[in-house]
Structure 1
Amino acid sequence: MPTAKLRVAICGGGIGGLALAVALSKYSDIQVDVYEAAGQFKEIGAGVMMWERTWKILDQLGLSEDLSKAADTPPNGFPGIGFDFRRADRETGFQFHMYNPPYGCIRFHRAHFLDVFVNHLPSGVAHFGKRLLSYEDRHSNSQVILKFADGSQGTCDLLVGCDGLKSTVRKQMYDQAPFKEPTLKIVAEPIWSGWVTYRALVPADRVRQANGGKETRTTTTPMMYCGKSKHIVSYPIFQGRIVNVVGLVFYPEGEGKTFDGPWVTECDGAEVIKHYVGWEQEVQDLLRHVDKAMLWAVHSLRPLPMYTSGRVALLGDAAHAMTPHQGAGAGQAIEDAYILAALLGEPSITALNLWKALSAYESIRLPFANRVLRESAVSGKMYEFNSIFQDNYTSLGPAIDAQWSWLWESTPEEEVERALKRMRGLGVKHKL
């Protein structure tokens, strides 16, 4: 084995962190260590969705065959149903829009999705029970010192914070920013989006049995049930055996404020149903099968002004945690990983000129991911008739589609080429 030209420490073993580890494992001269605070890799939540753009990355990483086995409906290259949009907050609902992108909405049980990444990790990469307390970016000897809660330490040439919305890495990066802006600490703190979600899993057989043994829209199709200041997302996962249900309620007075109370709590089905009284029958038929749900206060980040500082970078939710309205959070983390790995894997990049790769990564990913972050919040308001289009269905439908324009305006391959070109054009050495 060649001597590692770079030692990369990944803090956080969620989807973004594991995607980066898998992508970097393609380069034999890069040493990768994944530090996970928990005792094993695990994902909170139930469903995760992908679009065509992300699927192409997963295919290039060599994961598509295994992920096809885990997908509810493996992509076949043709247009499919992204979401079926219905006006549902009335006794008689109706479809007002259908979003049909290439490949449709590719859906997974989140745990099964993560398992595919875990199974593609090289041995010896994962380190559990390693909760990062702080890091020290030592400019004098070109390395980063990692300090963990168990008293141990580690070293690396590059630390990548993949530690989520409440990122320890992001907090320290912004606390120690080389340019002291009074607002930086505030910008780096999570904010309440104004939405709460009720997340539940419903056995699809129960829904079918209640429908005389026949399939329903909720057991076969990604659905978006829309109402004023509320909506419900549902789609089948686990090869149609489970319906993932997410009910959302918007409190406009809370947007951008501090949430008063625990961010995640458990509740019963009655708590969910009370928010959707009077909605169309198929919504009632679905919700009455919800025995319990997890109530989440949906938090996100403001668009950040930087993703890198010195020998430290942010990735995924640590950089751009967003609302779930475009099903884009996991995909954007994977795109971060794809581009960062391509830059670090370039033969010319070493610990001495690492700044070039990080500068190019930030210049490409920061504006793109921040755009998706903003568009996601706008989409949620569209689904709830709180945008400038209100319930003008003729203009609202095309506007909803346009919110996803980032999916097709470029390709991940083009973004990598832009990043590589940007990196190769950097000639002045910066001090790390």
Structure 2
Amino acid sequence: MYTKAAKEFGEIGAGIMMWERTWRILQTLGMAEDLSKAANSPPNGLPGIGFDFRRSDRGVGSQFHLYAPPYGCIRFHRAHFLDVFVKHLPSGVAHFGKRLTSYEDTPDKVILNFADGSQNTCDLLVACDGLKSVIRMQMYKDAQFKEPQLKDIAEPVWSGWVTYRALIPADRVREANGGKDTRTTTTPMMYCGKNKHIVSYPICQGRIVNTVGLVFYPEGEGKTYDAPWVIECDGSEVAKHYVGWEPEVVDLVQHIDKAMLWSVHHLKPLPMYVSGRVALLGDAAHAMTPHQGAGAGQAIEDAFVLAALLGHSTTSAQNIPRALAAYESVRLPFANKTLRASALQGKMYEFNSVHGDNYASLGPALDENWEWLWEETPEEEVERAMKRMQSLGPRIPRSRL
């Protein structure tokens, strides 16, 4: 059973990207053909452009690095990506209009309490309820009775970044360029400057340029963000941050009519994803900054590993905690490493790392910080989790969780 507070499946209209390791999972799930139709530049197994890096905040821009991994950067409109997932979802498993307020974890089941006063039970509760996860907050609140040091660690923190997200019709950009393509209409771009950068890449088969301007406030990192987390703003609000940048950046932001201003919050690396029959997944477990395009992929990896463990012939309703312990042993260290890498990557984009703007060392460091993409395949993660589950014996006592 899948419950969702909203009345239907829906997604904010913006771009989403992923890398080769996530694409492997989608191929395994039989979604590759449909997703290829929705993707911009569908992956063909060959090296492609991940990002073209330019120093752009000094009036005249110049390329300082090119990241070109296998498959490149696979891009979608979020709504189109979600449509494919919904198409492949078995009928009758989704229930809408149900907002979970709390749960009770018992030795043999989980009792679910909803905002409308109703209750239900399940063998396993998987928290996919995002950055502000109600389930994560209760899990850690309950754990504080035994481990007081866990107080407040489950709260989201402001990364110091805000983002301006906008979708620009590509024809508008081409028209302003004499009818010709620009880098922004054809290539995933990373325009870098001190304490600011802009990500842009085409989606919807080149019809839309997904544009995200990011501004970093060092004094706000780790602090409370007192304004609304998401608001709409005019394009002029975006443009003012990029005055004096290279012409193609200035021209690009002039095409933004409206944007959504987001405060970028993330989680601290958590010490546990599992308690009893409850598990955290995706942003509920490891909400991260967007700088490596990794958040959605890590959620899909979580689900891939967890589903393999739960679907194993030795897993039953009685020994679910054993499968969850194996899931946590593999996914927690990997996703936490990615969370840290993503935050570091953003600082490298804005010349705030130990490399500063020493391009000779910065370029290789950017590639190295993405090495987690190639360290282990999702299939190898599953194999390692299976071995861990078998090593735990037929059933793991709740006292060990």
In the superposition, the TM-score normalised over structure 2's length comes to: 0.98
Q: Which residue of 2 aligns with 1:210?
A: 176
Q: Which residue of 2 aligns with 1:251?
A: 217
1:346 aligns with 2:324: no
Counterpart mapping for 1:306-321 below 5 A: 306-321=272-287
- RMSD of the alignment, in Å? 1.0
Match for 1:229 among 173, 192, 195? 195
1:430 aligns with 2:391: no
Name the CA distance, whole Å, in 2 between partners of 1:429 and 1:230.
Answer: 48
Q: Which residue of 2 aligns with 1:104?
A: 72
Name the CA distance, whole Å, in 2 between partners of 1:135 and 1:165.
Answer: 18
Q: Which residue of 2 aligns with 1:196?
A: 162
Name the CA distance, whole Å, in 2 between partners of 1:183 and 1:429.
Answer: 25
Name the CA distance, whole Å, in 2 between partners of 1:181 and 1:137.
Answer: 18
Name the CA distance, whole Å, in 2 between partners of 1:67 and 1:208.
Answer: 26
Q: For residue 45 of structure 1, report the CA deviation from its aligned partner.
A: 4.6
Q: For residue 260 of structure 1, report the CA deviation from its aligned partner.
A: 1.2
1:55 aligns with 2:20: no
Q: Which residue of 1 aligns with 2:298?
A: 332
Give yes or no for contact 2:168–2:210 (8 Å, CA) kept in 1.
yes
The letter for the 2-side match of 1:50 is: M
Q: Which residue of 2 aligns with 1:393?
A: 359
Match for 2:49 among 78, 81, 101? 81
Name the CA distance, whole Å, in 2 between partners of 1:45 and 1:180.
Answer: 43
The letter for the 2-side match of 1:84 is: D
Cα distance per residue 1:195-236 (max 9 Å; x no partner): 000000100000000101100000000000000010000000
Q: For residue 42 of structure 1, report the CA deviation from its aligned partner.
A: 1.1
Give yes or no for contact 2:50–2:72 (8 Å, CA) kept in 1.
yes
Name the CA distance, whole Å, in 2 between partners of 1:38 and 1:293.
Answer: 23
Match for 2:59 among 75, 91, 114? 91
In the superposition, the TM-score normalised over structure 1's length comes to: 0.91
Match for 1:277 among 226, 243, 250? 243
Q: Which residue of 2 aligns with 1:239?
A: 205
Name the CA distance, whole Å, in 1 between partners of 2:293 and 2:368.
Answer: 15
Name the CA distance, whole Å, in 1 between partners of 2:151 and 2:202.
Answer: 40
Q: Which residue of 2 aligns with 1:6?
A: none
3-state DSSP of counterpart to 1:273: helix
The letter for the 2-side match of 1:144 is: V
Name the CA distance, whole Å, in 1 between partners of 2:65 and 2:72.
Answer: 15
Match for 1:286 among 249, 252, 256? 252
Q: Which residue of 2 aligns with 1:114?
A: 82
Q: Which residue of 2 aligns with 1:42?
A: 10
3-state DSSP of counterpart to 1:187: coil
3-state DSSP of counterpart to 2:375: coil
Structure 2: which 5+ residue stretches go unaligned? none
Name the CA distance, whole Å, in 2 between partners of 1:246 and 1:327.
Answer: 12
Give yes or no for contact 1:81–1:101 (8 Å, CA) kept in 2.
yes
Name the CA distance, whole Å, in 1 between partners of 2:292 and 2:189.
Answer: 13
Match for 2:99 among 124, 131, 143? 131
Give yes or no for contact 2:170–2:185 (8 Å, CA) kept in 1.
yes
3-state DSSP of counterpart to 2:166: strand
Name the CA distance, whole Å, in 1 between partners of 2:396 and 2:344.
Answer: 40
1:172 aligns with 2:172: no
Name the CA distance, whole Å, in 2 between partners of 1:404 and 1:98.
Answer: 13
Match for 2:119 among 134, 150, 153? 153
3-state DSSP of counterpart to 2:152: helix
Q: Which residue of 2 aligns with 1:377?
A: 343
Name the CA distance, whole Å, in 1 between partners of 2:273 and 2:226.
Answer: 29
Runs of 4+ in 1 over 3 A off after TM superposition: none
Q: Which residue of 2 aligns with 1:415?
A: 381
Give yes or no for contact 1:171–1:185 (8 Å, CA) kept in 2.
no
The letter for the 1-side match of 2:113 is: K
- % identity of equivalent residues: 76
3-state DSSP of counterpart to 1:258: coil
Name the CA distance, whole Å, in 2 between partners of 1:58 and 1:336.
Answer: 13
Structure 1: which 5+ residue stretches go unaligned? 1-32
Q: Which residue of 2 aligns with 1:24?
A: none
Counterpart mapping for 1:345-364 below 5 A: 345-364=311-330
